[in-house]
């Protein structure tokens, strides 16, 4: 049985759409970037911490496969998490406007004492945005629970002319990577 260690409705949707059967146990893990930590190391550490927290919370049996993920957006040296307000979302959108950035998602799989993990990276190009577009999108509410302050599958789709890499990674869960980790780990198909 797969245990999804996530509160994200998008991750639940993507996993279900890909045909996986799972239950959800959302962990409580503080998401703080450590000084000097690379973006890839950051998301990988958080995904592993989420999986470990679910396993440590009790009730995890040896036949459970705990699946956790963490996503962040990186533009230049800036790590863009979920915005704290519409003003913070607008700040992030100004950074993204007319530029390329990367979406990084770490996936961690735990089964008993074994662990597998990997990081997916997708390049996303944002169109130049006017200040009125930024303010209107930030005020829509859509960016508030999304890393980088946008949802590629929602209203922000009109701002993204091109990506290089996994679309599902940008939504929040690189399904092909999840499948590969499960397959390589010996998860019963």
Does the structure show a pLDDT above 90 at 189?
no
Instruction: Determine the pLDDT at residue 57.
Output: 81
Phi, psi (degrees; rounded to nearest 5) at 100: -90, 150
Does the structure show a pLDDT above 90 at 87?
yes
Q: How confident is the model over 44-67, as pLDDT tens digits?
A: 999 999 999 998 886 556 689 999
Question: Which residues have a catalytic role annotated?
Answer: 70
The lowest-confidence range among 24-28, 65-69, 87-91, 103-107 is 24-28
Instruction: Determine the pLDDT at residue 167.
Output: 98
Average pLDDT over residues 178-185: 96
Share of the chain above pLDDT 70, in %: 97
Average pLDDT over residues 149-161: 97
Instruction: Determine the pLDDT at residue 6.
Output: 92
7's enclosing H/E stretch is none
Structure token pair of residue 188 = 């019963």
Query: Domain span at residue 41?
Result: 2-185
Structure token pair of residue 14 = 């993507």
- Residue 183 neighbours by CB under 8 Å, 6+ apart: 189
Instruction: Determine the pLDDT at residue 60.
Output: 56
Instruction: Determine the pLDDT at residue 65.
Output: 95
- State how far the Cα of 130 lies from the Cα of 128, in Å rounded to an integer: 7
- State how far the Cα of 50 lies from the Cα of 71, in Å rounded to an integer: 12
- CATH code of residue 24: 3.90.950.10
Instruction: Determine the pLDDT at residue 58.
Output: 67
- State how far the Cα of 139 lies from the Cα of 86, in Å rounded to an integer: 6
Does the structure show a pLDDT above 90 at 184?
yes
Structure token pair of residue 153 = 């599958």
Instruction: Determine the pLDDT at residue 59.
Output: 58
pTM: 0.93
Instruction: Determine the pLDDT at residue 154.
Output: 96
- Residue 145 neighbours by CB under 8 Å, 6+ apart: 82
- Residue 94 neighbours by CB under 8 Å, 6+ apart: 129, 134
User: Dihedral sign, CA of 142, 119, 180, 66?
Assistant: negative
Please count the structural domains in the chain: 1
């Amino acid at each position: 049985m797969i245990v999804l260690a996530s509160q994200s409705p998008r991750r639940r949707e993507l996993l279900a759409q890909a045909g996986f059967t799972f239950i959800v146990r959302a962990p409580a893990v503080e998401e703080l970037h450590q000084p000097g930590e690379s973006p890839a190391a950051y998301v990988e550490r958080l995904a592993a911490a989420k999986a470990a927290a679910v396993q440590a919370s009790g009730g995890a049996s040896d036949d459970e496969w705990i699946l956790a993920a963490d996503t962040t957006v990186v533009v230049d040296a800036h790590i863009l998490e979920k915005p704290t307000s519409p003003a913070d979302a607008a700040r992030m959108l100004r950074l993204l406007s007319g530029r390329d950035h990367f979406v990084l998602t770490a996936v961690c799989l735990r089964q008993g004492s074994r662990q597998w993990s990997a990081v997916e990276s997708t390049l996303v190009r944002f169109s130049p945005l006017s200040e009125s577009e930024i303010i209107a999108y930030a005020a829509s509410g859509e960016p508030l629970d999304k890393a980088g302050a946008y949802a590629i599958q929602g209203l922000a789709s009109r701002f993204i002319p091109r990506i290089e890499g996994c679309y599902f990674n940008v939504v929040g869960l690189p399904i092909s990577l999840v499948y590969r980790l499960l397959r390589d780990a010996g998860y019963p198909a």
